[in-house]
Amino acid sequence: MSHRIVSKKQLSEHVFTMEVEAPLVAQARRPGQFVIVGVSDDYGERIPLTIAGADTAKGTIRLIWQRVGKSTSEMADLKIGETLGYVAGPLGKPTHIENFGTVVCIGGGIGNAPLLPIARGMKEAGNTVISILGARTKELVILEDEFAAFSDELIVVTDDGSHGRKALVTEPLAEICGRDPKPALAVAIGPAIMMKFCCETTRKFAVPTQVSLNTIMVDGTGMCGGCRVEVGGQTKFVCVDGPEFDGHEVNFDIMMKRLSAYRNLEQKAHEAYKQHRCRIGLND
């Protein structure tokens, strides 16, 4: 099966989106699920990426990713009409969506991508959806218009105040949790540190909070155990038990450390790729 890229766009300096042909995944996927993507069929990395959306008629899924290392740079260098080596999925358990009442959805940076189908799903299920989107600076706020289209309330915050409120996401989150009635559920997706502090905020208000974890993974089907996290003192596997967990039970400190396991090796590979890319004149 060939996975042709039918559209591709750069959303910010390092964030890209593409629609890629994967009809079976498009048909089967539910909000909250992810795929494993390989740029090449052979010895490329298996990259876990959340599915930001799908078009079953076109048989495509939408991926949004950040250029952080060699493999994600290679993906960024692919052009419309070229293909991905493989797309396996959808993986992970779908989000449990029902009419909870009011749901507050908090997205941080690239986390807006997996959050989008979940927030939209919550809206379609009849919830009042309050979206909080945060980023370091204006340029890094992605998918704002799409959230605006269905959110009952949309709050944008940036660290530097270049767009929306100058605040961290936890500030409006605490305000919303303090309302009467308080939201029935919070869904927080973003960098681990952001999810950790969102959970600390909602814990004070006893607002149940779901997080979606993006750990290191190899197979994504429950075989390797590389994605293990500690949830409620127990070892859980993100690929088959998650990716969503009760955020109040997740040990984020362990997770953040494990995420850094290959940072040095990855940096080296990324540098080598950038140099190679320069030599073959791929730089725009």
Partner 1 sequence: MSDDRTLLNELLEKQKAGGLKPSDRYAIPPQPMPAQEASERRSNISEVAQGYTETQARLEAMRCLQCKTAPCMEGCPVRIRIKDFVTAIAEGQYGEALAIIKENSLLPAVCGRVCPQEVQCQEKCTVGKKFKDVDKAVAIGRLERFAADRAGAAPAVPQVAAPTGKKVAIIGSGPGSIVAAADTRRAGHEVTVFEAFHKPGGVMVYGIPEFRLPKAIVQQEIDVLKQMGVEIVCNFVVGRTRTVDQLMKDDGFDAVYVGVGAGLPSFMNIPGEHLIGVYSANEYLTRANLMKAYNFGKGADTPIAVSKRVAVLGGGNVAMDAARTALRLGAEKVYLVYRRSEKEMPARLEEVHHAKEEGVDFRILQNPKRILGNGDGNVAGMECLKYELGEPDSSGRRRPVPIEGSEFTLDVDTVIVAIGNGANPLIGQTTPGLELNKWGNIVVDEKCKTSLEGVYAGGDIVLGAATVILAMGQGRTAAAAINEYLASKA
Residues that bind partner 1 (CB under 8 A): 1, 24-25, 28, 33, 36, 38, 41, 43-46, 70-71, 85-91, 218-219, 221-226, 228-230, 235, 237, 240, 251, 254, 257-258, 260-262, 265-266, 268-269, 272
Nearer to partner 1, 105 or 231 (CB): 231
Phi, psi of 3 (to 5 degrees): -110, 85
Give the total residue count for the chain. 284
CB of residue 11 to partner 1, shortest distance in Å: 24
Q: What helix, strand, coil percent values describe the chain, rounded to 5?
A: 35, 30, 35
Q: Cα–Cα distance between 221 and 51 in angstroms, integer?
A: 16
Nearer to partner 1, 123 or 228 (CB): 228
Angle, helix 192-204 to helix 252-259, in steps of 10 degrees: 170
CB of residue 40 to partner 1, shortest distance in Å: 8
Q: Which two tokens stand for residue 101?
A: 């009442």
CB of residue 45 to partner 1, shortest distance in Å: 4
Q: How many CB atoms lie within 10 A of CB 263?
A: 11
CB of residue 166 to partner 1, shortest distance in Å: 33
CB of residue 70 to partner 1, shortest distance in Å: 6
Q: Which two tokens stand for residue 141?
A: 């706020």
Longest CA pairwise span in the chain (Å): 60
Nearer to partner 1, 43 or 181 (CB): 43
Residues near 100 by beta carbon (within 8 Å), at least 6 away in sequence: 122, 127, 184, 185
Nearer to partner 1, 180 or 279 (CB): 279
Nearer to partner 1, 41 or 98 (CB): 41
CB of residue 57 to partner 1, shortest distance in Å: 18
Q: Which residue has the tokens 């293990």?
A: 228
Nearer to partner 1, 21 or 144 (CB): 21
